[in-house]
Amino acid sequence: MGTTLFEPYTLRSVTAPNRVWMAPMCQYSAEPTGPQAGVAHDWHFAHYAARAVGGTGLILQEATAVSPEGRISPYDLGIWNDTQVEALRRITDFLKAQGTVPGIQIAHAGRKASTDAPWKGGGPVGPEGRGWRPSAPSPVPFAEGHPVPHELTVEGIQEVVEQFAAATRRALAAGYQVVEIHGAHGYLIGEFLSPHSNRRTDEYGGSFENRIRFPLAVVDAVRAEWPEELPLFFRISATDWLEEGGWTADETVRLAEVLQRHGVDLLDVSTGGLAPDVRIPVGPGYQVPFAARVKAEAGFPAAAVGLITEPAQAAKIVANGEADAVLLGRELLRDPHWARRAAGELGAEVRRPNQYHRS
């Protein structure tokens, strides 16, 4: 069972050496303004390099904004200019040298944009705090105390689509081998998907077909810029965990079938984030059944995430066919060498740098 977790996995022309992958996790550590705004620096390099040295097969870089207004916080990484590209190339070069596949999650935060770093409270910040007014499908704030977002016009929607396309071109120039579109956790694309946040009455709101129109436009624009030989991922919140009026697991399976036809290669299956104060039955592997449904019912490759912490647990998920790979988040923050430790426990092997051969 353990060896399955450490078997290579190929999508299009890219092969990850194992199925232990790193989930995108914001570091909130970039400069907020000036010429270095959104630019990766030594913290980001050391953070990702450590997990590559630790044997992680594929690393998805934190949500990287396609525009300044698309950042979750003023401290997020960005990929809207060429200065950012140069700094990111340093990271991708090192990851490749360690045998790790470098991926990037491109994102727009929508109505959840312009918030502070979590260790500063995470609340909304306005222009006086280097913030801005967020935009969204509808003028519905995320929560009490959050600003009413600007409702995107049809022209504004197309502008965001073009920003995703431009970000994709820069991701290629920066050396990434996987692009993931962030459609989860209540950010802009997820806001369009869910009727809880999408109250539009035009062609972008109402029916399932209308609510997926903007996400599919982004997918098509990204796929048109991303080389045919490189894989494209899409991250989804499989459910909003709302009792009524939200995005559902059934709709996730339905969307997965559509995404396949539009050139997406794998669904990164998470949940929640659209609405505050919802009840989520958090426990070990609590989101894995949603990935399993995508695989079983849509016949679509899927990665599982969510309180996957133990090697035997991760190995069982992959061996049982519930997911094609596991994405570790907090566990990789705690232990950058988790993949190497897991391989030892499970009787498998991962690439060991020559410098660490004595370990």
CATH number (3.40.50.970, 3.30.1490.100, 3.40.190.290, 3.20.20.70) of 2-350 reads: 3.20.20.70
Tabulate helix, strand, coil % of the chain (nearest 5): 40, 15, 45
Tell me how far the alpha carbon of residue 287 is from its chain's centroid: 15
pLDDT at 359 over 80: no
Nearest to 217 by CA among 163, 149, 257: 163
- The number of C-alpha atoms within 13 Å of 287 and in the hemisphere containing its C-beta is 23
CA dihedral 269, 274, 277, 281 (to 10 degrees): -10
Listed by start position, the domains of the chain span 2-350
For the residues 52-70, what does the mean pLDDT come to? 98
Confidence category of residue 127, pLDDT binned at 50, 70, 90: confident
- DSSP assignment, residue 270? E
Q: For the segment 338-358, what is each residue's pLDDT rounded down to a tens digit?
A: 999 999 999 998 988 989 888
Chain centre to alpha carbon of residue 2: 26
Count of beta carbons in the 10 Å neighbourhood of residue 191: 29
Joined tokens for residue 275: 């609405």
And the tokens for 120? 């500063």
**3-state secondary structure labels for all residues of the chain:** CHHHHCCCEEECCEEECCCEEECCCCCCCCECCCCCECCCCHHHHHHHHHHHHCCCCEEEEEEEECCHHHCCCCCCCECCCHHHHHHHHHHHHHHHHCCCEEEEEEECCHHHCCECCHHHCCCECCHHHCCCCCEECCCCCCCCCCCCCEECCHHHHHHHHHHHHHHHHHHHHCCCCEEEEEECCCCHHHHHHCCCCCCCCCCCCCCHHHHCHHHHHHHHHHHHHCCCCCCEEEEEECCCCCCCCCCCHHHHHHHHHHHHHCCCCEEEEECCCCCCCCCCCCCCCCCHHHHHHHHHHHCCCEEEECCCCCHHHHHHHHHCCCCCEEEECHHHHHCCCHHHHHHHHHCCCCCCCHHHCCC
> What average pLDDT does range 128-145 have in this prediction?
95
User: What are the tens digits of pLDDT across the range 165-207?
Assistant: 999 999 999 999 999 999 999 999 999 999 999 999 999 999 9
156 has pLDDT over 70? yes
Question: Across residues 97-112, what is the average pLDDT?
Answer: 98
Which H or E element spans position 305? strand 302-305
Q: Is 187 among the catalytic positions?
A: yes
Pairing verdict, β 20-22 and 150-151: unpaired
Of the pLDDT bands very low, low, confident and very high (cuts 50, 70, 90), residue 3 is confident
The one-letter amino acid code at 90 reads R
- Confidence label for 2 from pLDDT (cuts 50, 70 and 90): low
| CA 133/CA 131 separation, integer angstroms | 7
Q: What is the mean pLDDT of the chain?
A: 97
Mean pLDDT of 274-291: 96
Structure token digits, residue 9: 């996995």
pLDDT at position 129, please?
Answer: 82
Q: Which two tokens stand for residue 240?
A: 């909003």
Q: Beta 20-22 vs 14-16: how paired, if at all? A: unpaired
Paired residues of 59 in beta bridges: 22, 102
The DSSP letter of residue 262 is T
Catalytic residue among 28, 48, 187, 204: 187
pLDDT at site 1: 59
The whole-number average pLDDT for the span 151-165 is: 98
